[in-house]
Homo-oligomer: A and B are copies of this chain.
């Protein structure tokens, strides 16, 4: 510990000076954002929203790349999201519908993606979110699409089949698992641990280390597990914080998942197509011919052109009970030449193909 260490007063003076500079720059940024809006209005007097998903993604990508710390890149990117959200709201705040109620993960996803200057509106069903975006009464909608503990949210996929909306972005949220017990249950009494099979798997190493001899019972969902332990003093459940609140359980251990990068995924839906940001994904719906090897033929062009698939899901077609449609996500933007080639090839091999959208990969 050297004597040269600055005093508290000196450090606070330094911080005050830095704050002054940050403050000035944030307002300068807001002036530039206003000028951007003017230029765009001059180009297109009917323009409704100045939000450019690809541009926001690029700004955040730059933040993550150049970050030197000590703050984490994600932390700084989150601050920039709020700065952009505030600058954008100067012109006209975004109206965002999401699958409610308030306080859910989807709400958190909407705020994570659009910042706290956006106006968010909870709706009761995924269909309503689609309808409000289609009707133009909100700018964008946020719906869940993959839930790490319950798999894919099929209802969202079905809505895309009946809608002409585009995917304009994705959000990922980290999800944590917790060991929950009824009030008063002691660790030494636990003889059973309930959870969804996937959650038990996600916490396997932790369970092996801490409860090697306790029986693990797979049930239909984490919420169901939480409900069951409510009345069983010798049992524990693995579930999220929301379930702990809902059933008034005690969190014995928090964040027990083996892989701390356990995430859940949401889609942002809108009416416009998004230009390339430089690091994008594209989502497709494809109705295959009813023949052997149909999926194999669809996937072959991706393989040949070295394009990574990030997800593939199968759903029954809504108008034909014997046929299936595939939801395919892959890396790349539909405007990129090699992606165009692949899309053309696939189109020739299927009954029907619809591009749900190309959009920036989740940065945060």
Contacts and interface: CB of A to CB of B under 8 A. Distances in A.
A69 B87 CA distance: 11
Contact of A39 (B8, B31, B39, B70): B8
Contacts of A102: 103, 242, 245
A89 to B, nearest CB: 8
A78 interface: yes
Contacts of A78: 82, 86, 116
A19 B62 CA distance: 9
Given A79-B79, A122-B245, A26 B32 contact: no
A5 B39 contact: yes
Contacts of A90: 70-71
B103 A107 contact: yes
A59 B25 contact: no
Given A70-B34, A103-B107, A245-B101, A26 B16 contact: no
Interface string A65-76: 011111100011
Contact of A11 (B32, B89, B122): B32
A63 interface: yes
A78 B111 CA distance: 15
Contacts of A36: 8, 11-12, 15
B27 A15 contact: no
Interface in A13-29: 14-16, 18-23, 25-29
B76 A26 contact: yes
Interface in A240-295: 242, 245, 248
A116 B82 CA distance: 11
A25 B35 contact: no
A100 B27 contact: no
Total copies of this chain within the assembly: 2
Contacts of A59: 15-16, 19
A68 B27 CA distance: 8
Interface in A100-115: 100-104, 107
A228 B341 CA distance: 60
A315 interface: no
A260 B101 CA distance: 25
A184 interface: no
A11 B31 CA distance: 10
Given A86-B71, A102-B103, A103-B107, A18 B32 contact: yes
B26 A79 contact: yes
A173 interface: no
Identify the 4 closest CB pairs spanning chains A and B, nearest first. Answer: A103-B103, A102-B103, A30-B71, A18-B29
6 contacts: A1-B42, A8-B36, A11-B35, A12-B36, A14-B32, A30-B70
Given A5-B42, A30-B71, A76-B86, 16 more contacts: A1-B42, A5-B38, A8-B40, A14-B32, A16-B59, A19-B29, A21-B25, A23-B63, A23-B66, A26-B79, A27-B69, A70-B90, A78-B116, A79-B82, A102-B245, A103-B107
Interface of A: 1, 5-8, 11-12, 14-16, 18-23, 25-36, 38-40, 42, 55, 59, 62-63, 66-71, 75-76, 78-80, 82-83, 86-87, 89-90, 100-104, 107, 116-117, 122, 124, 242, 245, 248
